[in-house]
Amino acid sequence: MPVTASDGYQPRYDGPPVNPAGFTPPRGGSAIDEPERNLREPARADWETKCWGRVRHVFECERFSVSELEVRPGFRSSIHRHEDRANAFQVVDAEIVVETFVEDTAAPYSRRRLNAYLLGPGGTICVPSGRWHRFRTLRPGRVLELYYADRGGVVRLDDIERWDEGGADNA
């Protein structure tokens, strides 16, 4: 016979703190503790078309934001970086490759691929602020994108520096 809450059973977890994919929580207070200071205008629920699919911003506050991406196969985002916000990808039911880059000091104004991470459903990766990166889409589906202020600043959706343009993936 199963044990239920009415039998006095209380679930308990005694393991170490859970930290999925190296997520670093924002410094300072939380949006729950300081709602009036942290909450901005409601997130935009309308879809924005991108070359790789479409995106909608479902939640925004000072220290983090959440976007839902619907990706089409055979496309890539631009190589870009964010000065004050880290970028976490959580794949729902798509397949993507997240690539990170470093500046090549031997060839000024060029980038060299550092790593490539294949992510399928349930896959997660965090890209720290300041790191050049992009994603390539292999299978259609949904990806959740979380931005958080990993340097103690404020998350701004316009915090982006692009190295190139996204488009059809010919690689």
pLDDT tens figures, 17-61: 444 444 444 444 444 444 444 444 545 568 999 999 999 999 989
CATH code, domain with 76 = 2.60.120.10
**Is residue 138 included in any domain, yes or no?**
yes
- Nearest one of 161, 93, 158 to 122, comparing CA atoms: 93
Q: How many structural domains does the chain have?
A: 1
Q: Taking the model in full, what pTM does it have?
A: 0.69
Compare 56 and 162 and report the one with higher pLDDT: 56
pLDDT tens figures, 92-136: 999 999 999 887 665 555 667 789 999 999 999 999 998 999 999
- Distances in Å between the Cα of 99 and the Cα atoms of 47, 56, 60, 87, 123 are 25, 22, 25, 12, 14
State the residue range of the domain holding 37: 30-168
